[in-house]
Chains A and B, each alone.
Chain A
Amino acid sequence: MSGIVCAIRGGPESQSPIRHAIQLAQETGETIYFVFVVNLDFMTMTASSRTHILSDQMRQMGEFILLAAQDQAMQEGVQATGSVRHGNVSEEIIALCQEIEADYVILGRPRADDQPNEFDIARLESFIGQLELQTNTRVVLADRGEPA
């Protein structure tokens, strides 16, 4: 197996990684594996006991976001699938790369503004190092998309 892993959350920030993934898939002929990771850490300080309700709703929302990305890819003539996973974002991306023996992983660049983001630059560099160490995947950083 091989393919291109593209981790997205949805929103305008994800457009750039999606476009990169589509372009790369067109060049290589590989399948895109869009991945959305459900992480409910934000509930820990407010409504931690309600995570059971939200988990399923977030999965459905993630599937919908991935479906929109798949739809976009297929309109460009590219084969794409989607996968919603639960847990730590870094660990889940690495796990998917290992499972499908991905050739590429497309990540968005961190935002420079004060908006919350999974990775700041230091964490991203650390994650890329970890990814390359544990998998044989090449990391491609996509430029930022249009701000929300």
Chain B
Amino acid sequence: MQESVQIVTIVLIGTLLFLILVAFVIVSLFFYQRSQYKHHEEVTGLKNAYEQELLKANLEIKEETLSTVAQELHDNIGQILSLVKLNLHSVTAQSEGGANPKLRNATDLLSKAIADLRDLSKTLNADYLMEQDLQESIRHAVDQVQKTGTIHATFEISGNEKPLTPQKRLIAFRIFQEAINNAIRHAKASRIDAALKYGSQAIAMTLKDNGKGFHVSGPQAKSAGTGIKNMKHRANLIGSEFKINSAPGSGTLIQLHIPL
């Protein structure tokens, strides 16, 4: 009897000790993994914040450069062209028997060049864009495309207009510019439909083209990667959601949801 009690005691204590040991190892592992997980989360967070800062700085430098170029175009080249136009006008006025048609043609072309230069200067100038409404900037860009005569461009607005911060306006417009450039240059689109939808929580900006399209996850996407990456990074900077849908032969749809 005593031997049986001894056996039971040995078996129970032995089993219990083994089980406690296993439980201890598992609990330690659990806490260790949790601390590692938190550490990894912190490192990832810091890395992301650093990348965001770097990107922000990069974009600021880019915007500054564009603003300088815009100012130079407007103040320097624009002034010179205006002077040339003035001189041409005076030559036309002095000429007897009516202005030479070639001279008149040159004056018209010059007027167009000055107007285009002003437009270009405006779209490059961050300060100017930040002062403008997003819909105005987009409408202007769409009109410019429509003016080329080779692309049919439309722009639709729905909902009640909501104000956006200047930073969001600028970045959203830069994304739009990149998208419209891609549609013209790479997709060879003949139709572009832009839309701006004001919701209660967010603004949805979409740009649809009937161009070549591409595999969003294929090797083509890699080659078109820089532009798309830039748009995504820019969208991240203003906490927006960026989506791109495309397939060969089906055009491309770009969507940006900007939270208010």
A and B: interacting chains: no
